[in-house]
Structure 1
């Protein structure tokens, strides 16, 4: 008793301060600008005269300082008059595709467990998930290699565009595929070719593609199908040409243009000849065999203007040349001047006696 008629009573405090945790939001975009907050709230003012602290740890698959940063330190402190403390999470953007990652907050016991309490929430309710926003196709378009883009058709009637990309289809980033379009930087699946095989000239654009939300820019390759030149069909004359001066015995000249058909632009040249003299190919590709040796003459037609990888076509024709004058008496006979040519009366010799050798020519 303090004095006459006075009684002192001690009021025992039986109030418990309760902490609750709220998380906003549950997911974050991995763009370097998104933030999340864990708010720890005390339902009553701390009147104990001593600040109460609540420790915490952050775990999960995301790495602090790599995938996110934390604003706030452990433990959180609640002096009198402070009812709420926040832990702020900010994402750190990157460009590398990766799985979604988690940030898990775990609270420890309050420093004054007699007067304050906290019931740990389920893990799912104290987890923030960072959603990866990087396209698995990456940011780099396919690289076109140095392979020649001109093809010769025939024999090549189609090409696989993938062979013009470094690494081909197997070089596409995991989870993406190498696709082609006739449109630069395609953004819709409808703009993609059904496959990499093409049969027509054109500029085709390579892109690494996942879907209409994930793709790279494109790089072009221009394919040109070149038609190879043709030496056509060569047909030798049915009868030999003559080497005689007179055409009375037969034709002694020939236009080479008459033995060829279906050819593209080109030129004639003389190949092998039977004698020491080579005939000349004149205007209109006409060749005269007058005075040439008997035998076979080879003439070659070579196309011009082939575009790589096509090559010029070469074909040859053999022209037979003969002496068409079959008369044996083509040379005047030699006279024998030793035979008597002066007579007094009767001539007793035959004219054939004046011929050296056989006086009987072979009939023409």
Structure 2
């Protein structure tokens, strides 16, 4: 039925409806109200946290200790491993574990290559073991009640061997770090015998996120930076540092390289507001003397505990994890860090090193003259 429309397209606008329109309207009223169309229910929305606004710089997440756990009783097993005798060294580890249990410790850190000795040279391929291996069974079992971090030669793919540090907890391997920076200068010759690791990652533990480093790793500023940026509350550093620079030691102080280590540990702990546990071996091996001096440094850069020079010891202290959060609130370098800026700069530097001329193009925020 055609409805009468006025010029503005509205039926009967400007006057009364006429014949056909009036009859259609009456018929519609008699039929009653039209049923409302069914509207599909809206699906449930899975709400999620919105991403940070694009106009602001990304913020590095500052980690917090797990709820209910505010302290950690941490031990450093400053031992004298026997070169190339893993069975004897395993006994040393088990004895240190019993001593740590007697002190009710939560975590025990051993030195670099603690199960094998350091100056292995041609022994490396013979003494390397894959993970897992039945040899580690006593340590895996011991980790059910005490977290452990120890060093060994890991057999990798093919003929590769790695200078590795394992972290065990609850009867299983939580994390394995392969030494990334292999010193090959002076008395050190690691690149001849080991393959370098190619990664670094903080990992969750029952105490919060931690990161593992091995000796030379800490001397390269990128490693502690990345570890703390990845949310680590603290670093566990295993070392086999030989004695160098006897002047300070003869005067009753620290050897020259031990003083440097002390400065380095305090600096990184203070800079990133995290604790650092440093476990160095002691004793004499193949004509080289190792100075020991293991130490725990708090998030303010203060010395919490230190081991003796040149002698075996179990160094321990209770660390306040809440102090890390307090320090990071007051000293907010990690909070204000801009990893996206570092990422862009590293991309450009790598392009420049590869000979890409576009790498010298001016970037925002810099002036090229």
TM-score scaled by length of structure 1: 0.18
TM-score scaled by length of structure 2: 0.18
In proportion to residue count, which structure has more strand?
Answer: 1
- Bigger-Rg structure (1/2): 1
The structure showing larger relative contact order (alpha-carbon pairs under 8 Å, at least 6 residues apart) is 2
In proportion to residue count, which structure has more helix?
Answer: 2
